[in-house]
Amino acid sequence: MKKKIEGLIAALLTGFYSDGCAEKRDSVITHCHKSRFINSINVLKKNMEVLLVRKSEKVPMENVLRSLAWQLSGQQKSCRGSLFNIKKESTDMNRNAKLIKIRERSKMKTDKIIFLVATLMAFLLCSACDDGELKSDTIIGLDVEVVGVPVIYETDMTLDVDDVGALAVLHGLQMEGKVTILGISYNETHPLAPAAIDAINTYYNCGTIPIGKYTKILRDPDPSDYYSARTDDVDNMTHDLSDNSVVDAVELYKQILANQLDSSVVVISVGFLNNLYDLLKDPEGFMLVESKVRLLAVMGGLHNDGFNFVRHNLVSQTQYVIENWPGPLVTTHVGGDMITGETLTSRTPATNPVRKAYELEWGVGPNKGRSSWDQVTTMYAIFGTQYFIEDWEGNGSLPNGYSWDFSKGYRGYAAPIDDRQVEQKIERLMTLTPFSGL
């Protein structure tokens, strides 16, 4: 039976390429995360092996194909591309159906053959994305081609909205080929946050980006104005958490970093440092940070910070990270007077979760901006001295009395060369339309 299926797939491959479909195939993969394909296919591969074991029971091949087709159609929602639009493709698939003799052996009706051939063609195309099997505990969304700076975004996206703006900046940069968002780590504990984050990613056609979250108890967790029990909030906008992973933040970091080149990853922390504290406390996590992370850019007040470094009674965790982070750690705290997001309502559609978040934050309504602390940190992390001045002399301090000295290439501070220039670039990136550069 295995040979029969392999023969069928080989025939489909011949028909697929001879029919001049390569351009279309490449377009579909361009517009969908490769990891989404791979996850669906590995599920199918595992189930196919189970079916093949049953060959001693003489299970008709028709039943095998029906089962595979049913499973693949269940995975259809994993991609927006037209590859899985079976009805639209049925005409082309019918031409390929003649390449196989399955009609004679199983006596299936033509329409069923077309459906099965179409789904198996999708199966073939997706399985070509990866020769290896994913382990059952592998996080969905890890297998992405890195273009530009590989980034992990560490955020407390709950109480304020500049975290949302910074994620929009990262997606804008990703569309322009300047970064690759490897994962998003959430250091608050609001149960609706992963859905809101995924809605933003989905709007940018990146709904498979894995999400990590803090899984311990957090003292006095924050509420949110832009996701809650209301039906029109960001968490209720289009998204699907079943096509990506939401896991413990430390596990997310470890699996992402293990797959990256040495000294390549930039971690952008615009929230609390509890997840990074736990990562450093994990022996494997510490080693991966030491070998894989090039820079940790942190948004926080340089002296006696009153929010990111101390909120939720986390000042001790902040101190530990600053003391023990094995590579460069640069802080920024500029952005209070840099207002961005004012043109989201006029320049982006109502389906944009970033726009929705800015309109809902503190009930300010449309055409209102917000301070850009987190976006400034994000811009520094990617552009460095192109738009920023770095200060490697001086020191920082925490309200608990701890202080640290700057050291060239190890601990420092950064601020924009020209606030207005950076502000304008942030606004442009926040309002880019998904795939506008493609």
Distance CA(424)–CA(226), nearest Å, equals 24
Residues 304 and 193 both lie in one domain: yes
Classify residue 276: in a domain, yes or no: yes
Residues 243 and 372 both lie in one domain: yes
Q: Which of 80-94, 128-142, 385-399 has the highest mean pLDDT?
A: 385-399
Q: What is the mean pLDDT of the chain?
A: 79
Number of independent structural domains in the chain: 2
Classify residue 143: in a domain, yes or no: no
Residues 107 and 194 both lie in one domain: no
The residue written with tokens 């969304």 in the block is 141
Residues 305 and 423 both lie in one domain: yes
Classify residue 139: in a domain, yes or no: no
Closest by CA position to 296, among listed 314, 279, 313:
279
Instruction: Answer yes or no: are the C-beta atoms of 214 and 189 closer than 8 Å.
Output: yes
* Number of neighbours of residue 96 by Cβ within 10 angstroms: 24
Residue 148, phi then psi, degrees to nearest 5:
75, -145
Instruction: Answer yes or no: are the C-beta atoms of 149 and 384 closer than 8 Å.
Output: no
As a whole number, mean pLDDT of residues 245-251 equals 97
Classify residue 79: in a domain, yes or no: yes
Q: Which residue has the higher pLDDT, 314 or 86?
A: 314
3 state DSSP class of 173: helix
Residues 214 and 80 both lie in one domain: no
User: What domain range is 159 assigned to?
Assistant: 149-430
As a whole number, mean pLDDT of residues 5-20 equals 43
pLDDT at 315: 98
Residues 18 and 161 both lie in one domain: no
pLDDT at 115: 52
Residues 249 and 331 both lie in one domain: yes
- Model confidence at 77: pLDDT above 50: no
Residues 93 and 227 both lie in one domain: no
Residues 212 and 300 both lie in one domain: yes
Query: Given pLDDT bands bounded at 50, 70 and 90, which one contains residue 70?
Result: very low
pLDDT one-digit tens code per residue, 300-349: 999 999 999 999 999 999 999 999 999 999 999 999 999 999 999 999 99
pLDDT at 90: 41
Distance CA(380)–CA(415), nearest Å, equals 8
Classify residue 248: in a domain, yes or no: yes
Residues 170 and 275 both lie in one domain: yes
As a whole number, mean pLDDT of residues 370-392 equals 98
71 CB-side CA count, 13 A: 19
C-alpha distances (whole Å) from 137 to each of 247, 252, 261 are: 10, 11, 22
For the chain, the straight-line distance linking the first and the last C-alpha, in angstroms and rounded, comes to: 43
pTM over 0.75: no
- Model confidence at 21: pLDDT above 80: no
Residues 404 and 326 both lie in one domain: yes
Give the dihedral sign, CA 319/325/328/331.
negative
Classify residue 336: in a domain, yes or no: yes
Residues 79 and 169 both lie in one domain: no
CATH number of the domain at 320, please.
3.90.245.10
pLDDT one-digit tens code per residue, 148-198: 999 999 999 999 999 999 999 999 999 999 999 999 999 999 999 999 999
Classify residue 420: in a domain, yes or no: yes
Instruction: Identify the domain boundary among 71, 93, 127.
Output: 127
Q: Which residue has the higher pLDDT, 70 or 275?
A: 275
Q: Which stretch of 17-21, 181-185, 227-231, 344-348 has the lowest confidence by average pLDDT?
A: 17-21
